[in-house]
């Protein structure tokens, strides 16, 4: 993409500084810049994007852009700066790799020099819908379309006066054309995402993928909010007509988006939330939906958003003459995305807030076919399954996955974005469940009647019936049995669901094969949890499956 270092008059040049913050970029060490475009609205950004050749308008008014080499997050290139003031609070390891403070400063200095004489776009915005906990974030980008992405995904100030007096408490700088020198900078590749919590700064280089910006702000909130007693969560949330809100945790392919998108309930948000002593709130201002093979009948609202002005479509193929989209074409990537404001969804809650959740739903896609379709969890069991974050990834949920499901455990249903030890978040979850009387349900949207390849996928009709019964409270009034392996409670009956579906062993032709598969799954849970046991209370460690439970199953 072209950088306009010479004096070219771009469409928004006259308005570039109309809503400039008094807290200028010189405070970030960014000097001798060419043009800086401050807080441009969507319409002006459209003009800049098209003028600069960054994107094309498609049928209906959405913009399509190509993110370049990176069409997904570059997880292996994310680092956290290790420094004295925060290092004892970080869950160091696979997802929070330590980075030298000196190397960070050297990289930042090179980047500051690289940006001299160049154009930049700035959006001053907030992460967090609740004014009591929102974080003022400044996002500085090289691309105009990234600036529009930020306006869609974050919460924007409402007045020019607010923008003029805006002072960021965290800053994200995203420059796709800047490459690291691994042998000098200490990165693993030319791509980098460097988080410095002490200096309140995140640097992103050599990646044009919009999700990198979105998912760089989330760890910041995951670090800061728990320190204030607020549980930060990777989940969707909705609310009923009586104010009964619900949370939906789940990894890709579990049905989180489908099941939380209930036309009879208001949508608070689809991905990131906080739970304070006042209630729950969306951390974001928009949605970032996967749109490959999107169906206008199964997902009508999201489909409609792909044809709306203001929506950004990442790596979506379109006809250059007619401008019609081809949502089924995955030649660029299977991970095609649409970024749009939450308000584009008809039943979205404008405030992006609600009261304390009455129900918490943890979704898992069990390809083993042995987990019950729903189970009621105690607070300790909720902590155990929250820390475990179990599911089976199947073809279509991630790039390069084969046909065979892949068993996956992702702590807190979002391990790559968790900064503290998972037990820290789990303890907050238990405290809030007990304080505000929330019920927790484990819902299996995977297989029944046998493992993948033998059984069949759980009926969405049955899942919705169980979920509705849980949300309206009627499932609390039925008789339960105790699962001998996991110890959670499983309802014996539910209106609209055959009794044998609630007892998975009855759906298998070979009970012995069921027992063996359940024993295998339990062993995987036990092995996975060993890495967290040291930081967890004993009662939580004991809240998972046991070898004794497997023996009891075989006696039943």
Q: Which residues are catalytic?
A: 73, 215, 234, 252, 256-257, 271, 337
Report residue 22 as tokens: 């008094």
Specify whether the CB–CB gap between 250 and 261 falls below 8 A: no
Spatial CB neighbours of 334, under 8 Å, sequence gap ≥ 6? 292, 396, 399
Q: Which residue has the tokens 């089924």?
A: 328
Q: Kindly give, in sequence order, each residue whose CB lies less than 8 Å from that of residue 8, ignoring residues fewer than 6 positions away.
A: none
Number of neighbouring beta carbons within 10 Å of residue 3: 12
Q: What are the φ and ψ backbone dihedral angles of 520, each rounded to 5 degrees?
A: -65, -45
Q: How many residues comprise the chain?
A: 556
> Running DSSP on this structure, what letter comes out for residue 348?
B
What sign does the dihedral 476-482-485-487 (CA atoms) show? positive
Q: Given the structure tokens 């906990």, which residue do they identify?
A: 133
Round the CA-based radius of gyration of the chain to a whole number and report it.
24
Separation of alpha carbons 556 and 549, rounded Å: 11
Give the DSSP per-residue string, 422-478: HHHHHHHHHHHHHHHT-EEEEEE-SEESSSTTTSEEPPHHHHHHHHHHHHHSGGGGS
Q: How far is CA 493 from the centre of its chain?
A: 34
Which helix H or strand E contains 4, and what residues bound it?
A: none
Q: What are phi and psi of 268, to 5 degrees?
A: -90, -35
> Which token pair is 331?
């030649």
Do strands 312-314 and 337-341 pair parallel, antiparallel, or not at all (unpaired)?
antiparallel
Plot region of 320 (φ>0 → left; ψ -120 to 50 → alpha; else → beta): alpha
């Amino acid at each position: 993409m072209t950088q306009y270092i010479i004096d070219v008059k771009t469409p928004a040049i006259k308005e570039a500084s109309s809503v400039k913050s008094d807290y200028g970029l010189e405070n970030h060490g960014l000097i001798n810049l060419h043009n800086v475009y401050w807080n441009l609205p969507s319409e002006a950004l459209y003009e800049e994007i098209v003028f600069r050749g960054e994107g094309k308008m498609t049928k209906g008014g959405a913009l399509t852009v190509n993110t370049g080499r990176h069409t997904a997050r570059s997880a292996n290139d994310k680092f956290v700066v290790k420094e004295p003031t925060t290092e004892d609070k970080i869950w160091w390891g696979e997802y929070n790799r330590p980075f030298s403070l000196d190397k960070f400063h050297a990289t930042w200095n090179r980047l500051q020099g690289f940006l001299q004489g160049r154009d930049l776009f700035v959006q001053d915005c907030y992460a967090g819908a609740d004014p009591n906990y929102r974080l003022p974030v400044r996002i500085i980008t090289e691309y105009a379309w990234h600036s529009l992405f930020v306006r869609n995904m974050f919460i924007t100030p409402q007045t020019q006066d607010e923008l003029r007096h805006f002072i960021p408490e965290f800053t994200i700088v995203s420059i796709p054309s800047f490459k690291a020198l691994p042998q000098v900078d200490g990165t693993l590749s030319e791509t980098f995402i460097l988080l410095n919590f002490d200096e309140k700064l995140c640097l992103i280089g050599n990646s044009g993928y919009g999700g990198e910006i979105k998912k760089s702000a989330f760890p910041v909130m995951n670090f800061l909010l728990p320190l204030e007693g607020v549980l930060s969560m990777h989940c969707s949330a909705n609310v009923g007509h009586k104010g009964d809100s619900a949370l939906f945790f789940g990894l890709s392919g579990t049905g989180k988006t489908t099941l939380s998108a209930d036309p009879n309930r208001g949508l608070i948000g689809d991905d990131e939330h906080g739970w304070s002593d006042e209630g729950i709130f969306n951390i974001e201002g928009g949605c970032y939906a996967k749109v490959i093979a999107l169906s206008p009948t199964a997902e009508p609202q999201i489909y409609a958003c792909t044809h709306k002005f203001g929506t950004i479509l990442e790596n979506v193929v379109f006809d250059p003459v007619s401008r019609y989209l081809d949502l089924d074409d995955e030649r660029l990537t299977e991970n095609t995305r649409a970024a749009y404001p939450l308000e584009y969804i008809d039943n979205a809650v404008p405030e992006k807030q609600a009261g304390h959740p009455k129900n918490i739903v943890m979704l898992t896609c069990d390809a083993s076919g042995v987990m019950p379709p729903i189970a009621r969890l105690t607070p300790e069991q909720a902590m155990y399954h929250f820390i475990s974050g179990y599911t089976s990834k199947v073809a279509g949920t991630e790039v390069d996955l084969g046909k065979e499901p892949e068993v996956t455990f992702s702590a807190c249903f979002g391990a790559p974005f968790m900064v503290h030890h998972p037990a820290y978040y789990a303890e907050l979850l238990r405290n809030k469940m007990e304080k505000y009387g929330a019920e927790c349900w484990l819902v299996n949207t995977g297989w029944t009647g046998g493992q993948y390849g033998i059984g069949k996928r759980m009926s969405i009709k049955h899942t919705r019936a169980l979920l509705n019964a849980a949300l309206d409270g009627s499932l609390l009034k039925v008789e339960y049995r105790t699962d001998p392996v996991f110890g959670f409670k499983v309802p014996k009956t539910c209106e609209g669901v055959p009794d044998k579906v609630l007892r998975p062993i009855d759906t298998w032709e070979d009970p012995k094969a069921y027992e063996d598969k359940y024993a295998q799954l339990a062993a995987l849970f036990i092995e996975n949890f060993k890495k967290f046991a040291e930081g967890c209370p004993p009662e939580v460690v004991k809240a998972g499956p046991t070898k004794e439970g497997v023996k009891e199953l075989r006696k039943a």
